[in-house]
Amino acid sequence: MRLRPLPAACLAVLLCVALSSCSRQEEDADGTPEPPVGAAVDPDPGEADESSPPPETAEEERPFGTPVGWASQPLALPAPEDEETEDGADEDAVDEDTDTEDAPVEHPGVTGGEAGETVTATDVEQLTAYLEAEEPLVVEVEGDFDLDGTVRVASDKTLVGMGEGTEFTGGGLLVDGAENVVLANLGMVSEGPAVEIRGGAHHVWVDGSTFSGGEDDSLITVADGADHVTLSWNHFTDAESAVTIGGGDEEPGALRVTVHHNFFDGTSERHPRAHNAEHVHVFNNYFRANPEYGVRSAHGSQVLVEGNYFENTPVSVSTESEEPGNVVTRDNLLVDSDQPEPRGTVPDPPYAYELDDTVNVPELVMGRAGSD
């Protein structure tokens, strides 16, 4: 029997709908992978998720992409002090019409030395001269450098390794009171701190580098009133301590630090450990085989830990017993690691960021973190 035109058309439409539905079901089956067998997911803290900031466009390729986190945030700075005239009189006193109430200056966020020239340092002497210069500079390096001590980094500088095997040994980098500094794509093997950020330094971005050594010191320290710092896409290995933020004598209101997409590879502790920190945001990091602990909040610090992958880390997140801080955890994935020990409340950061699926963090971080 031959079908009439209208019923035949209806039958064709129904057949197309059925095939389309099957196709969508197959696509859904290939979606987000399930967590590993035996993994525990950090429980949802409830109201904390309601105020999560909207996602941001993914970072561009390092080292000259857009930084995410506290280093990218504007910061109001005190107004500069009035300069004196040659006879010692204050300029405002000379001109009675001058407004004596100077408005505070706002730092827009880290850009490093992009406003200046690009130079190449081929030895430690050149490197030291460029990094200590007053003008903005992008300093490119390649090869091995024996620092033979501490090298200071002045304001408005970008230091970037340009090839495979760029390595600093025999010392470390000190950002003391400087602002607007980018350190990227470096390999550092240090007997002490590899990078120290202190003395009220602010807007410092450490990205895409590999750190090892340290002995009894943390590989990176952020202390003494430093502020608006981002540590991203770094590889920490062969060390006891990775990152220390703050200390017992810190004044309140500083130490706002973002720690994201780092690979804490077998390091024992301090990933980070925060003391008196105004706000520390730890997200999308990969913790693997850290025998002491992952993250610790102490001395009233405010620490938000989310979207991290903890593997064989016995104590994932904790507070110090005698002088605890606050810590909020959410959306972390725990493999052979104990549940975290949250305490108190912690506000969300003011910046937008994109949170990667926690189950994908190991592959994502191992594929990109560290120097080339």
Complete domains list, the chain, with CATH: 68-74+104-368 (2.160.20.10)
Q: Is the pLDDT of residue 168 over 80?
A: yes
Q: What is the pLDDT of residue 19?
A: 39
Q: Is the pLDDT of residue 353 over 70?
A: yes
Which of 275, 198, 283, 289 is CA-nearest to residue 239?
289
Six-digit token pair at 229?
Answer: 């710092």
C-beta of residue 293 within 8 angstroms of C-beta of residue 315:
yes
Q: What is the pLDDT of residue 102?
A: 61
Q: What is the pLDDT of residue 177?
A: 98
**Which band of pLDDT confidence, cut at 50, 70 and 90, is reported for residue 105?**
confident
Q: What is the pLDDT of residue 259?
A: 98
Instruction: Provide, rounded to the nearest whole percent, the portion of the chain with pLDDT above 90.
Output: 69
C-beta of residue 292 within 8 angstroms of C-beta of residue 316:
no
Give ∠ CA 298-304-306 in degrees, rounded to 5: 130
Of 118 and 27, which is predicted with more confidence? 118
Q: Is the pLDDT of residue 195 over 60?
A: yes
Q: What is the pLDDT of residue 214?
A: 85
Q: What is the pLDDT of residue 35?
A: 65
Mean pLDDT for the stretch of residues 17-46: 51
Residue partners of 311: CB distance under 8 A and separation at least 6: 286, 287, 288, 289, 335, 336, 337, 362
Q: Is the pLDDT of residue 342 over 70?
A: yes
Mean pLDDT for the stretch of residues 194-202: 98
What is residue 269's DSSP assignment? B
Q: Is the pLDDT of residue 298 over 90?
A: yes
**Which band of pLDDT confidence, cut at 50, 70 and 90, is reported for residue 59?**
very low
Mean pLDDT for the stretch of residues 35-58: 51
Q: What is the pLDDT of residue 33?
A: 54
Distance CA 7, CA 233 (A): 61
Q: Is 203 left (phi over 0), alpha (psi -120 to 50) or beta?
A: left
C-alpha R_g of the chain: 25
Mean pLDDT for the stretch of residues 314-323: 93
Quick one: how far is CA 93 from the chain centroid?
45
**Which band of pLDDT confidence, cut at 50, 70 and 90, is reported for residue 29?**
very low
**Which band of pLDDT confidence, cut at 50, 70 and 90, is reported for residue 49?**
very low
| Per-chain mean pLDDT for the chain | 84
Q: Is the pLDDT of residue 111 over 70?
A: yes
Residue partners of 193: CB distance under 8 A and separation at least 6: 172, 214, 217, 218, 219, 220, 221
Q: Is the pLDDT of residue 113 over 90?
A: yes
Mean pLDDT for the stretch of residues 196-209: 97
C-beta of residue 105 within 8 angstroms of C-beta of residue 75:
no
Return the biggest CA–CA distance within the chain.
113
Give ∠ CA 187-192-198 in degrees, rounded to 5: 90
Tens digit of each residue's pLDDT (9 = 90 or more) over 147-167: 999 999 999 999 999 977 789
Compute how many other C-beta atoms are within 10 angstroms of the C-beta atom of residue 9.
Answer: 11
C-beta of residue 112 within 8 angstroms of C-beta of residue 92:
no
Mean pLDDT for the stretch of residues 266-291: 97
Distance CA 232, CA 298 (A): 22
Determine which of 38-42, 223-227, 243-247, 302-306 has the lowest per-residue pLDDT on average.
38-42
Instruction: Provide, rounded to the nearest whole percent, the portion of the chain with pLDDT above 70.
Output: 76
**Which band of pLDDT confidence, cut at 50, 70 and 90, is reported for residue 55?**
very low
Q: What is the pLDDT of residue 245?
A: 98
Sign of the torsion formed by the C-alpha atoms of 45, 47, 49 and 51: negative
Q: Is the pLDDT of residue 293 over 90?
A: yes
Tell me whether strands 210-213 and 195-198 are parallel, antiparallel or unpaired: unpaired
C-beta of residue 128 within 8 angstroms of C-beta of residue 151:
yes
Tens digit of each residue's pLDDT (9 = 90 or more) over 228-274: 999 999 999 999 999 999 998 899 899 999 999 999 999 999 999 99
| E strand or H helix that includes residue 184 | strand 179-184
Q: Which residues pair with 158 in a beta bridge?
A: 138, 182
3-class DSSP assignment, residue 44: coil
Q: Is the pLDDT of residue 96 over 50?
A: no
Which of 78, 58, 76 is CA-nearest to residue 68?
58
Q: Is the pLDDT of residue 25 over 50?
A: no
Q: What is the pLDDT of residue 215?
A: 86
Q: Is the pLDDT of residue 133 over 80?
A: yes
